[in-house]
Structure 1
Amino acid sequence: MPCARLTARQAIAAVADAYTETTVPAARATPAAASTTPDGPLGWHGYDDARAHAHARTGEDESVVTALATIGGREAVVLSFEFRYLGGSLGERTGERLEAAYTHAREHGLPVVSLIATGGSRMQEGMRALTQLQRVARQSALNGAAGLPQIAVLRDPTTGGGWATLGAAADVILALPGAQIGFAGSRVRPPDADPFAYSAEGQLASGHIDAVVPPDRLRETLQRWLQLLCPPMHPPQEPGTRTVEPAPPPYALGASALPETGWDAVVRAREPGRPRAEAYLRAYFDDREEISGDRCGGVDPGLRCGFGHHEGRTVAFAAQCGTATRPAGFRTAARLVRLAGRLGIPVLTLIDTPGAANDAEAERAGAGAAIADAFAALATAEVPVTSLLIGEGGSGGALALAAPGRLWATPDSYFSVIAPELAAAILKREEAQVHDTADQLRIRPQDLLELGVIQGIVPPP
């Protein structure tokens, strides 16, 4: 049976080592009017019969099952939707149950894993059902503020308020292949709507989810994410008292000798065979998982972000890959830094870019605002950020990912206020003077150290 069409309990069993309870205690929940008023709060004729039929079909008394489960040895609160129960729709009792589950997670310092399959809010309960989205959004925000990870798995379908609260608000969003995902369900979209935009693959391409995971890899993927995002420090320390040790900078993987001239530094940093981000990530981390997209409609393949294990602890990373960084890349990096701050995880940034993308498309996508957002995220980071310049450091597009006061450099790198060729052009110098201009800019690693821009030059392993 495809994982997207599993029952709520089958979906839990598919990802969990074991689950000890099928419902989370709801001691604080008050009886919803939908459970006591005939045909619900609207007196919708036939609603009681529809719920009775749904119960007979599924064995459930509501559209969501909450459980305490272990996934890869990590305990978590799991929320699993039963689509066969009135389309997995959210009503008052659903909101009541979800609120109790989030509260239990906060009280016990547990992550929340949502296995979502829903068509949205329940029409038979009208606005009483729709307001449950506010209830769920508040609970999700409270858990985020408490530093507790939230992971969503989008099954088929995930639409309406379930996508716009439980799904899209999660820290990490995974989806099953081919799942229908979107705020608008299939029956309320414009007739000429592109179906790809409402698919898991389309949402990934647009930067709204982190990965599409085949059913046979979902359990191990969730295990890795929980191991990365749930270090032993939970329940978290009080704000202002948490101590997080910074991540050490990686060793240099390229040339060990320092460049003789400024232009030598430029040539070496631009060398195609020089070690790039992938080589540094592979050498630094034992294992890692990546997030994708800026949640604003964009993806930058030239900037990789995620979390990995280094020497027994989790470190977040944002790594430029040698291309001009696009607005989506800066926004994704800012998202990563803020998420790491909430979870108490140190950050490593790898800097390697000729600069920020400056084409018309980048301007339309808000290049200035995106770069400003990255600067602000690093300037206000709640955890230590360590930065290593591994290649080109092109102006503000590189500086936006450089940690103030915690920047190192490799011997085959340079950092410049502007590319030497452009500096010479602005100064109306001849092409033959580009090399002299590079020297005047003082862009070599040893120059940067002398100027106090970097803390040091990292050695080879």
Structure 2
Amino acid sequence: MALVTDAGSFRDLPAPPEESGPDGPLGWQGYDASRARAAGRTGERESVVCGTASVAGTRAVLIAFEFGFLGGSLGERTGDRLVAAYTHARAHRLPVVPLVATGGSRMQEGMLALTQLQRVARQSALTREAGLPQIAVLRDPTTGGGWATLGAGADVVLALPGAQVGFAGSRVRPPDADPAAYTAEAQVAAGSVDAVVEPAEVREVLGRWLRLLSRGTPLDGGRVVAADVPAALGAAGLPGTGWEAVRRARSPRRPRCRAYLDAYFTHRAGISGDRCGGTDTDGMLCGFGERDGRTVAYAAQTGAATRPAGYRTAARLIRLADRLGAPVLTLVDTPGAANDAEAERQGAGPAIAEVFGAVAAARVPVTTLVIGEGGSGGALALAAPGNTWATPDSYFSVIAPELAAAILKRGPGQVEATAGQLRLRPQDLVELGVVRGIVTHEGSAEGPGGAGRGGRPRP
């Protein structure tokens, strides 16, 4: 608690009544004595402490595990406290922050302890439906059902360095298991944790996440305003030919998504991982940022071929923004989806389908800017129908000109002409109605004969 809360801000939530027979529901001999010793050691009556507090100025419901109380295990009384904490969060429209340190379910309560995970999962689901964020901080250790519900079930998952994180605890793993796989750092690499945070930085990082994720507009009657179109950062003039458009979009001197994100946001925080075992930080950047005092979610391609984990992370981002009532900005810049054998084994098609579905189902507005290469369906998946814009140094095409020429059985000398026939230049895309307009360095968005969002009429 002291690590993350503002001084003097914590207030305990009332603990539910405790009802249990001698030695618990199973009559486990010595259980009452074990609980008494745990209470004497820790000063707590249960393995979780629940209350409200401010974290860097933002109020939240905190659930802190006391590992010294029977290994931070979950029992019936733990479940009662967790249900009460989540219920209080929804009643008062507060985010939930589990500070997890647990070995799993309590042996002395058998299946009644294990079924508390279902209660926790239900409360987490209700909180998601209410549009409230859940941000978990994983401490050492975070294992068993506590990891599989309160930890991994959160919207954003942070972890302390070196923390043991895994479904299997150290005493139940296979004897030849690599212990390095059960660490916070390994879970980041596997796409299950967003970031490892140093203890001295936890309050600041957690506070930033709470501010960003608590600013959304409730979707039950509230209207979410679309994100502004970013200003162009690269070349100003329009390309004369299709092949010139391709060359400019592929230029190593052209600004990439990091430059656009830095110029657009006051500050931002990234999510990482697809929660399915993969990451693609080389091909896709996702997260939330502050723009003119409000929160905007972003999914930005980096210019590389996007891998399946990148698409799944983007889909995760868009669905989270939709639940929280935050508008979404997508930046399109890829020669196409990764098409190597490993990408196919990782489910490239289903991953791209996830993004198409997330954009199509989003209730919040999605704004798209094509900042470089727009290569086929791997780029189109991120594009907002009816609200996609382009920079002067970009193109969007059904397929790369070289591949189009190969499919049409044309020689290398016909690639440039094929690029022209594809009508992939920004001005072609406007005339075809594929994009709404071309953005300028001043941030206006010019369409055919009129102005786009925030723009001015084109001369």
- Which structure 2 residues correspond to residues 60-459 of structure 1 after superposition, within 5 A? 60-231=44-215, 233=217, 236=218, 238=220, 241-301=221-281, 302-459=283-440
Does structure 2 retain, via aligned residues, the 8 Å contact 1:18–1:69? no
Tell me, in whole angstroms, the C-alpha distance in 2 between the residues paired with 1:445 and 1:228. 33
- State whether residues 327 and 371 of structure 1, in contact with CA within 8 Å, keep that contact through their aligned partners in structure 2: yes
CA displacement at 1:20 relative to structure 2: 4.5
Distance of 2:8 and 2:47 partners within structure 1: 18
| SS in structure 2 of the partner of residue 295 of structure 1 | coil
The 3-state SS of whatever aligns with 1:329 is helix
* SS of match in other structure, 1:421: helix
Whether the 8 Å contact between 1:20 and 1:67 is mirrored in structure 2 is no
Q: CA deviation at 1:72?
A: 1.6
Q: How far apart are residue 219 of structure 1 and its match?
A: 0.7
1:104 maps to a residue whose letter is H
Query: What are the superposed Cα offsets for residues 252-295 of structure 1, whole Å, 9 maximum, x if unpaired?
Result: 00000000000000000000010000000000000000000000
Contact 2:159–2:196 (Cα < 8 Å) also in 1: yes
**CA contact 2:67–2:102 (8 Å) conserved in 1:** yes
Mapping of residues 20-39 of structure 1, within 5 Å: 20-26=9-15, 29=16, 31=17, 35-39=19-23
**Identical counterparts, % of pairs:** 71
Quote the offset at 1:192 in angstroms.
1.0
Residue 77 of structure 1 contacts residue 113 of structure 1 at CA under 8 Å; is this kept in 2? yes
Shift of 1:18: 3.7
1:106 corresponds to which letter in structure 2? R
Output one character per residue of 1:40-78: Cα deviation in whole Å (capped at 9) or x when no partner. Answer: 011111100000000000000000000110112111000
1 CA distance for matches of 2:416 and 2:26? Answer: 78
Ranges in structure 2 where 5+ consecutive residues have no aligned partner: 443-459
User: Letter of the aligned partner of 2:5 in structure 1?
Assistant: A
Structure 1: segments with no counterpart, 5+ residues:
1-11
The alpha carbon displacement at 1:231 in A equals 1.2
Amino acid at match of 1:222: L
The match for 1:14 is 3
Residue 328 of structure 1, CA deviation: 0.3
Q: CA deviation at 1:382?
A: 1.6
Q: Which runs of 4+ in 1 moved over 2 A?
A: 18-23
Aligned pairs, number: 441
- For 1:21 and 1:324, the matched residues in 2 are separated by 47
Distance of 2:29 and 2:82 partners within structure 1: 26
Does the 8 A contact of 2:216 with 2:325 survive in 1? no
- The residue aligned with 1:49 is 33
**Aligned 8 A contact 1:19 1:68 in 2:** no
CA distance in 2: counterparts of 1:260 and 1:249, whole angstroms: 24
Cα drift, residue 115 of structure 1: 0.5
**8 Å CA contact 2:11, 2:53 repeated in 1:** no
- Could you give the per-residue CA deviations for residues 374-419 of structure 1, whole angstroms, max 9, x where no partner exists? 0000001120000000000000000000011110000000000010
1:384–1:254 Cα change, 3 Å: same
Structure 2 distance, partners of 1:159, 1:55, is: 22
**TM-score normalised by structure 2 residue count:** 0.95
Shift of 1:431: 1.0
Q: Can you list the C-alpha shifts for 1:409-444, whole angstroms capped at 9, x where unaligned?
A: 000000000100111111111111111100000000
Distance 2:269 2:97 in 1: 17
Could you report, residue by residue, the CA deviation over 1:130-173 in whole angstroms, capped at 9, with x for unpaired residues? 00000000001000100000000000000000000000000000
Which amino acid in 1 is paired with 2:305?
Answer: A
Residue type of the alignment partner of 1:330: Y
